Amino acid sequence: MASGVVLREAGGPVAVEQVTLPGPGPGQVRVRLAAAGVCHSDLSLARGTLAHALPLVLGHEGAGRVVAVGDGVTGLAPGDPVVLNWAPPCRACWWCTHGEPWLCARASEAWQRPYGRLADGTEVYPGLGTAAFATETVVAAGACVPLPGDVPLVEAALLGCAVLTGVGAVRNAAGVRPGESVVVIGLGGVGLAAVQGARLAGADPVIAVDPVETKAELARRFGATEVLTPGAGLARRVRALLDGRGADHAIECVGRPETIRAAWSVTRRGGKATVVGLGATTDQVTFNALEIGHFARTLVGCYYGNADPAVDIPRLLDDYRAGRLDLAALVTERIPLAEAGAALDRLGTGARSVVVFPGGADPT
Ligand SMILES: [Zn+2]
Ligand SMILES: [Zn+2]
């Protein structure tokens, strides 16, 4: 029996409920969660802007320890620390075999399969296949990325979504090179990770943009050389910092029409705007027919940091160990499972609220 944060209806309330989990079955792993970050995609699921089978258990940025493994699972054993991957690549489809495992055709299969039952017998789905806002979960072995034993799990949880996405957007999707200028728009967990990614890539300057002025200090700590508020004249203010030219790169981490437009507009002629934020199907972004050719910019989408977790998470762990990647400062709040729903409502005020399960925090 596990306890999980259950969403029964899009737009409805969330509540901690008992969840009965069978297994693990063949190829599956049962994981006891230590920590799970509260991500904007959880809010999108709760509001229904991101469609998903219901009812579901929220949470997808989790780390914990293996409790049991099913038949045929190799390389994982009870006690092993792991971080969960919400889009595990199958390694066999067209995308996986053409070097784009983050676009795996089968990555979301687990989202569509009930994985347990609620107390009233209703089948329940694992949110984004992982269901990390729960004391335990059952996932495919491929959704578990092994961790070294010395990384605090509260910090490692962030590797499962925000950090992989934000750093990956800069390194993999944008391909930022040393000395290039980068504007990061939106300083949630993903955006602040993108600021760190820009620093890791050797970008200069790194201009961070967010309306919440208390984010400025965090952004500077993570490598921002300038912090601006959005709104009127943003593109002009950015150009003023860059010899009137605009930025080589913009990394958009919000997913709204106005911030996607802003990312486009702060980029120089011939520059590249990378959209990381996931918006709503009801929102439209418009471009006039002249500006696309005139500015000759590149506008690209980015999914899960265009990362291969099996490659990128070990690389991020190297950066962490070398002191180049600050995970601890991204954790701005530690909360119990029962407060996960309330934390969704105040998203945007800090970097990351992280649910810490009893016994989940490592001794310090
Ligand atoms: Zn996420
Ligand atoms: Zn695949």
Higher pLDDT, 190 or 349: 190
Tell me which residue of 200, 90, 80 sits closest to 151, measured CA to CA. Answer: 80
> 254 alpha carbon to ligand 1 midpoint, in Å?
12
293 burial level (CB within 10 Å; 0-12, 13-18, 19+): exposed
Q: What is the mean pLDDT of residues 83-96?
A: 96
Nearest to 45, CA basis, from 355, 357, 340, 356: 340
Cα–Cα distance for residue pair 239/246, rounded to 1 Å: 5
CA of 294 to the centre of ligand 1 (A): 35
pLDDT over 70 (residue 364)? no
Q: Is the pLDDT of residue 102 over 80?
A: yes
Dihedral-angle region of residue 255 (phi above 0 means left; psi in -120 to 50 means alpha; beta otherwise): left
* Confidence grade of residue 362 (pLDDT, cut at 50, 70, 90): low
Res. 212: pLDDT tops 60: yes
> Which residues surround the ion ligand 1 when the cut-off is CB under 5 Å?
39, 41, 161
Distance between Cα 289 and ligand 1 center (Å): 34
- pLDDT, mean of residues 264-271: 98
Token pair listed for 219: 């952004």
Q: How far is the CA of 111 from the centre of ligand 1 (A)?
A: 14
| Neighbour tally for 342: CB within 10 Å | 12
pLDDT in tens, 337-347: 999 999 998 88
Q: What is the pLDDT of residue 203?
A: 98
Does pLDDT of 197 surpass 60?
yes
Q: Which ligand is nearest to the CA of 162?
A: 1
Show the tokens assigned to 349: 């005020």
131 C-alpha to ligand 2 centroid (Å)? 21
Question: Could you tell me the distance, in angstroms and rounded to a whole number, from the CA of residue 4 to the centre of ligand 2?
Answer: 29
Cα 317 to ligand 2 centre (Å) = 24
Split at pLDDT 50, 70, 90, the class of 363 is low
This prediction has a pTM of 0.95
Q: How far apart are CA 342 and CA 15, in angstroms?
A: 10
